[in-house]
Copies of this chain bind each other. A is one copy, B any other.
Amino acid sequence: MARKPVSLRDVAAVAGVSASTASRVLNGQGRVSDATRQRIVEAAERLDFQPNALARSLVSGRSHTIGVLAVNAPGAFVMPVLTGATTRLGEHDLSALIYDSHLDRDLLAATVRKLRARRIDGLLVLGDGSRSGMRSVSEGFAVPVVYAYGVSDDAQDASFLHDGRLAGQIAGEHLLSLGRRRIAHITAWDYDLSARARAEGLSSALDAAGVELVLGHPLHGDWSRQWGVRAAQELLASGAPFDAVFCGNDEIALGVYSVLRDAGLRVPGDVALVGMDNMSGMLGHADTLLTTIDPRLNALGAAAADYLVAAIDGGPYEGGLHSVPCTLVLGESTALDPAA
């Protein structure tokens, strides 16, 4: 229980050697006779010796702690990134010192000092998913800094983001593979870089197949279900024929879905539907009503963490955007067997 931790000297004493010899053995360094090695190892095991990480850190200069600066940690989409990153850090035996909402001018300076006082081995900066540039804080640190779920405004910095363009492309290719040719796109405003990336990806897929978007352009609004409802109504009212809709996110898709159903259209029989975010997956549900694109935010966080750790260990550090691939999650809304 409350037995005080055993130190290296204790082990050395039991083994009848000096502390330095014990240290050597336990770290696999210099040459030591097998006999004494044996004694030391046994003693260490018998005493359940745990080298004090604090003392070790003091001499090595490595704290085994990573700083995490988040814009809004409890955000629905940030949490998976944060969780993915911090649990991956744990797998590397690194702890995470998390400061949320400390990126504004007032707090930042003080936070940077705290982080430096802790001698963090690296820093992870988490954005809020908007691709607009985050102010780089890398200058303030002598250790590697990696940005995730947001992009640093300094091209020298490595930024990790889910590949929105790929998402659009996958969605487009999936719908095309189903034989759909009249594909509409309902999404958020074009100045939202996240929306734009998806739209571009969709376009590239359609272009490659020589197919043109229904109405010739996406329908732009916000990210809400309500917008999905209105947009779907507009689409129906336009009279333009369509057999598929790629929606900017699952919320919009659900709005569209309800309108289509109310209009007596079958999904996917008459209209196939693809969303984005894998909302129900995020909630841990197996019911895949909607075919969707999973941005794999957990993997995004983990990838950023891995990259940071590698960089700390002398690995490569490339500035610019690092994209993490998305995956298609099949649901009933594009099921081959059109029961609905």
Q: Which residues of A are interface residues toward B (Cβ below 8 A)? A: 1-3, 5, 48, 50-55, 57-58, 61, 63-65, 68, 70, 73-77, 79-80, 82-84, 86-87, 89-91, 93-100, 113-114, 116-119, 139, 142, 224-226, 251, 279, 282-287, 298
Known contacts A74-B298, A283-B283; 7 additional CB pairs below 8 A are A5-B119, A48-B113, A76-B284, A94-B97, A96-B96, A96-B97, A279-B283
- Complex contact B63–A139 (CB within 8 A): no
Q: Is the interface of A mostly helix, strand, loop or mixed?
A: mixed
A48, A70, A74 — most chain B CB neighbours (10 Å): A74
- Complex contact A54–B50 (CB within 8 A): no
- Complex contact A74–B98 (CB within 8 A): no
Residues on the B chain within 8 Å of A80, using CB: 74, 79
Residues on the B chain within 8 Å of A96, using CB: 86, 95-98
Copies in the complex: 2
Q: How far is the CA of A279 from the CA of B76 in the complex (A)?
A: 10
**Nearest chain B residue, comparing its CB with the CB of A1:** B142
- The smallest C-beta distance from A194 to any residue of chain B, in angstroms, reads 14
- Complex contact B54–A119 (CB within 8 A): yes
Residues on the B chain within 8 Å of A53, using CB: 63, 117-119
- Complex contact A285–B83 (CB within 8 A): no
The contact sample of 19 A-B pairs, CB cut-off 8 A, is A1-B139, A1-B142, A5-B116, A5-B119, A50-B113, A50-B117, A54-B63, A57-B57, A58-B58, A83-B83, A86-B98, A89-B98, A90-B97, A93-B97, A93-B114, A94-B97, A224-B285, A225-B285, A226-B287
**Nearest chain B residue, comparing its CB with the CB of A117:** B50
Residues on the B chain within 8 Å of A68, using CB: 90
Residues on the B chain within 8 Å of A119, using CB: 5, 52-54
Q: How far is the CA of A116 from the CA of B114 in the complex (A)?
A: 24
